[in-house]
Amino acid sequence: MRTRGYLLASALLVTVLLFSAWWQAQAAPPAAAAQTGQSVVQIIAADEGRGGRLIPKWSGSGVLISADGLILTNCHVAMPRLIWDDRAFDYDLLIVALASRPNRPPVPAYLAEVVQYDAGLDLALVRINQTLDGGPVDARKLKLPFLPLGNSDDLAAGDTLEIFGHAGLAGKPVGSVTGAITGFSTGRGIKGRAWIRTDAEVEGGFSGGPAMNKDGEVVGLVAAGAAGNADEVVQCRYEEDTNRDGVVDENDTCAATGGTLNTLRPVNLAQPLITAAAGAVAPEPTPVPQPKPTRQAPTVQASVSRLIFAPEIDDYEQPVTVVESLPSGAEAVYLFFDYENFEDGAMWQPLLIVDGRPQKNAWPAEQWESGAHGTMWISVDPSDEPLDDGSYEFVITYEGAELGRATIEIGGRPEKRPAFSYIVFSAAGEEGYILPGGITEIVATFEYANMTRNTRWSYVGYYQGEEIARGQGTPFTRASGSTSLPLRSKTALDSGVYRLELYIEDKLAATADCLVGEEKAGGGLFGPITFAEGVDRQRKPVRPGTAFKSGLSELYGFFDYQGMQDGWEWGWQWTVNGRSLQLQKRTWERGSSGTDYIRIYSDDVLPNGDYRLDLYVKGEKVQSGSCTIGGKAPQPTPAPKKPSRKEGVEIYGRIVDADTGRGIPEAYFVVLQPGISVDEFEGKEDQVYTGAKTDRGGNFRLPDLLMRGESYSIIVAAQGYRPIAEDDVYVGEDVESPLEITVKLNKAR
């Protein structure tokens, strides 16, 4: 590392003071208990009574993730009305209570507003915006203690987590529970991990509280899935006379103590919400909660069928192949099942039994939100470690009743059995699982392996669940390769869901579904997207275009649709300046054809730059469009995602006096964000990627890994010494981790 020259010394000596101020703004190192206790807040929903008196209704937990007052919590803590239509969950104010010092109970200090949410994931972001008496807050001056976010994909079974939260009782400081990760669960519509399972049990008031790794980073959030009724949402109990009026009643703070939780949402699922909040993009319009009708005995009972297993899924959430068992070392197992007569809003829960032992909360109970019929999958994924050998039994429960179960054995050596895999459909020059209307032929291409001339195989085709084709396959002349099967019709194929099943010796070996739209000009389900500044009374676009002036507070994307069917899963996702916001998923309820629009807006103005809107049907992107606001905005390099252990390099070492070799206490080793040079550094917090301060012996360890293949600017400084600064420090792909560094500083003379 070279010195940038003495001319920089005076400026960088001032920077030492900026580092010190920046470090103080971070409070203690991430793992410090003091930092954690003051960063975990209590969130209280309250009504305004007579004379401005505040009447608490319920409480939960949250964690500060920025110094300017951004708080990550559960949607059921901040906006439970989105999960359950109960007027009891209307409120006037959202109060944030903070601990003034470590080991002190939280005290109401600020008011906050919800800035982003995802009811399906049970995640929300709230931002401090007023003092308790309603006065304005300058977010830049708050400088609240906050906790850094880690990478939840780095977690592995057996890792220890410390979970923090407020049990809901007044006058108590933040509590904590230590536990180990027992596994991970995934689910349809969520890429990667949907749940972190632990052996820790915390009270309901911990909802929204952070789970921290050994490095003091937030890697998960306490969550319990959806609830079946209003009382279960935050598990309210009035147990103490918190307002000291001599009576324990609804005017006291609701303590969330009913029941225990041991499931966490991975913090990575919150990243799109955080990105949207950072860009001042407003949340999706609040959906109007629908009252759940009184449940009556249905004329047709809910049911599940065709429970099958797969070792992996493809990018379109289709099983790659179908198996009856897996060898030792299997990294995941997926259960697929068809369902009929399900009702959105009903409670369902998969159960897992391993070698006869029930696994507690492998998946939490949730509200069903996937329509009346279709195909669902769930998965057990232990992360970097393989699944233990044993018998895995999956049980599907719905409204408390068992609907079906299936078992798969894991263990033994891999066997070379005949197999089919990777079914892909194509028609009219398009490939995928969403095909255009008006086609007369669908071609299914698939791979085969370990075949002989005597291997007997067959196929069955279905349309909307009814068999339409069946036949015996032609013997293979090679052991492995790819082949195809056509489905032909003299007239256009009807719109709807088609399924292909491939069998080997009468056992299901592979399956996949595709969706065919209605016949129309252009063929696709959604037409081109037209962007506009507004919408008129006839739901037509106002001032459409592809380039808009700065200062726009809302942007609309209009599109025609045809061939859709009510009940299909669809969704949309905005990307702003290269950063994707939360993928919004809905059940289609707009009929077969028409025109619709999607809106993105801000309470202030939308940021300048590039905007893209993607539309999805059944998990597949079917349409996309782009526009700009204010021309292309100058883009600072975005904060990169923290690398995983495999991708990153851990840095530690000493900063020493060049003359004596002794360690320099309270020296700083600071790494700037990629793209920020030393000359451009102004001492701002968002320009720093990571940094560390030395202990009494001059030792330091960076809390964040550096990404291999990335270049950084690095500054090393201490009071009384000439700083060292270097741009374009490249972290090679072959650099070993951890990497020890010794930096020598010369005294300033």
Check if the beta carbon of residue 164 is closer than 8 Å to that of residue 594: no
Length of the chain: 749
Is there a contact between 383 and 644 (Cβ–Cβ < 8 Å)?
A: no
Burial (CB count <10 Å: 0-12, 13-18, 19+), residue 726: middle
pLDDT of residue 467: 94
DSSP annotation of 267 reads G
Check residue 259 and give its pLDDT. 43
Cα separation, 145 vs 148, in Å, equals 10
Say if residue 463's pLDDT is above 90.
yes
With a cut of 50, say whether residue 320 has pLDDT above it.
yes
Structure tokens at 703: 């809390």
CB 631 within 8 A of CB 535: no
What per-residue confidence (pLDDT) applies to 638? 46
Closest CA to 261 of 217, 199, 212: 199
Dihedral-angle region of residue 331 (phi above 0 means left; psi in -120 to 50 means alpha; beta otherwise): alpha
Equal CATH topology for 303-410 and 530-629: yes
| Helix H or strand E encompassing 275 | helix 271-278
Report in angstroms the alpha-carbon separations of 456 from 280, 473, 505, 659: 60, 7, 5, 81
Comparing 502 with 280, which gets the higher pLDDT?
502
Q: For the chain, what is the radius of gyration of the CA atoms?
A: 28
Q: Letter for the amino acid at 377?
A: W
Looking at 67-76, 106-115, 296-305, 561-570, which range is the least confident one? 296-305
Which class in CATH covers the domain with range 303-410?
mainly beta
Q: What percent of the chain stands above pLDDT 90?
A: 38
Q: What is the DSSP letter of 107?
A: E
Q: How big is the CA angle at 173 (ends 170 and 174), to the nearest 5 degrees?
A: 110
Q: Do 126 and 139 meet the contact criterion of CB atoms below 8 Å apart?
A: no
Res. 642 pLDDT band, cuts 50 70 90: low
Mean of all residue pLDDT scores within the chain: 82
Q: Read off the pLDDT of residues 250-269 as tens digits, 9 standing for 90 and up.
A: 555 444 433 446 788 999 99
Helix, strand or coil for residue 437? coil
pLDDT for 640: 54
What is the residue extent of each domain of the chain? Answer: 6-23+641-745, 31-278, 303-410, 419-516, 530-629
Instruction: Indicate the CATH number of 31-278 among 2.40.10.120, 3.40.50.300, 2.10.260.10, 3.40.50.720.
Output: 2.40.10.120
Separation in Å, CA 53 to CA 20, 56, 98, 126, 745: 42, 10, 20, 23, 59
The pLDDT of residue 500 is above 90: yes
Question: What pLDDT score was predicted for residue 27?
Answer: 36
In 511-581, which ranges are continuous DSSP H helix? none
CATH topology of domain 530-629: Immunoglobulin-like (2.60.40)
Chain centroid to Cα 283, Å, comes to 16
Range 6-23+641-745 has CATH code 3.90.550.10: no
Beta bridge partners of 604: none
Name, of 282-296, 381-395, 451-465, 622-636, the range with top average pLDDT: 451-465
pLDDT in tens, 60-104: 899 999 888 999 999 888 888 777 667 777 888 999 999 888 778
Better-scored residue on pLDDT, 396 or 259: 396
**Alpha-carbon separation of residue 449 from 415, 417, 425, 503 (angstroms):** 12, 8, 19, 13
419-516 architecture in CATH?
A: Sandwich (2.60)
3-state helix, strand, coil in the chain (%, to 5): 10, 45, 45
pTM: 0.64
Higher pLDDT: 191 or 14? It is 191
